[in-house]
Amino acid sequence: MQLNLTGKTALVTGATGQLGRVIARTLAACGANVALHYISNEAKAMELQREIEAMGRQAVIVQGDITKQDTSFRIRDEIESRLSGVDIVVANAVIQYEWTSVLEQAPEDYVSQFESCVMQSVYLSKAFIPHMQRMRAGRFIGINTECAMQNFAHQSAYTAGKRGMDGVYRVLAKEVGEYQITVNQVAPGWTISERDRISESGHDEAYTRTVPLKRRGEDQEIANVVAFLASDLASFITGAYIPVSGGNVMPAI
């Protein structure tokens, strides 16, 4: 068996980010053509586009604020005109902000997390799910976080946004399942990315002490799970929140 996404078109939001670029490369390596969404880093988007095209895949770059409904519909139309209808959506983009206590966190940070975690997913579903319904097939994948289960100090805005996102995905999975569309979430732990490898900052003893596998995960390990969920091998998995955290969080039954 192999992860074969040949003939599929995938959209990765936040594709120029540390994790997004690895997800995009991995989906392309499995055979998918990829639409690369970015908000401001056009140079990285173009570099990533060239990388994917060098693999023999098609790649297009699309820009815009994915927390706006009109942007999602415009991006859909751009992808359909240049590639095809989207078979795989990976909602990876998230707004960055400084973490602090509930009493000190700016109210606008809660709004930004709600918009980038919850509303991004809502707008993407409105834009891309109807095509999947017509095809009676599709994959809708969100990047959540282990923080949604941990609820540690200074995580309130991020955790609130991601827990809200979790509710949307679970309900959506029930609403579109009859069309053979799967809706799942991948929840990374504290992941080593390209930035960490360059700065050699991938080890943190205090964190890894709590992880059963005694290490931080690699970005490629997260992307591998996304690719699996995007494939036919995961055709009977939906409504799942899947931690990829070395056992650092374990959903209970």
Q: Which domains does the chain have, with CATH numbers?
A: 9-244 (3.40.50.720)
pLDDT (0 to 100) of residue 154: 97
pLDDT (0 to 100) of residue 73: 98
Give the Cα separation of 146 and 247 in Å (integer). Answer: 10
pTM for the model: 0.96
Q: Quick one: pLDDT band at residue 1, thresholds 50, 70, 90?
A: confident
pLDDT (0 to 100) of residue 127: 98
* Residue that has been written with the tokens 């990047």 in this structure: 143
pLDDT (0 to 100) of residue 55: 97
pLDDT value at 202 more than 80: no
49 HSE (CA, 13 A, CB side): 14
Residue 36's beta-bridge partner residues? 12, 61
Q: Is 207 a catalytic residue?
A: no
Give the Cα separation of 78 and 24 in Å (integer). Answer: 18
pLDDT (0 to 100) of residue 198: 87
* Average pLDDT rounded to a whole number, residues 175-204: 92
Structure tokens at 189: 């732990």
What tens digit of pLDDT does each residue of 204-238 get?
Answer: 889 999 999 999 999 999 999 999 999 999 999 99
Q: Identify whether the C-beta of residue 169 lies closer than 8 Å to the C-beta of residue 184.
A: yes
What tens digit of pLDDT does each residue of 35-52 get?
Answer: 999 999 999 999 999 999
pLDDT value at 203 more than 80: no
Give the Cα separation of 182 and 197 in Å (integer). Answer: 33
Q: Which of 38, 123, 158, 241 is catalytic?
A: 158
pLDDT (0 to 100) of residue 131: 98
Q: Quick one: pLDDT band at residue 182, thresholds 50, 70, 90?
A: very high
> Of the candidates 25, 44, 18, which has an alpha carbon nearest to the alpha carbon of residue 201?
18
Q: Quick one: pLDDT band at residue 2, thresholds 50, 70, 90?
A: confident
Averaged pLDDT score across all residues of the chain: 96
Angstrom distances, CA of residue 86 to CA of 3, 29, 110, 130, 202: 18, 17, 30, 10, 35
pLDDT (0 to 100) of residue 114: 98
* Average pLDDT rounded to a whole number, residues 120-143: 98
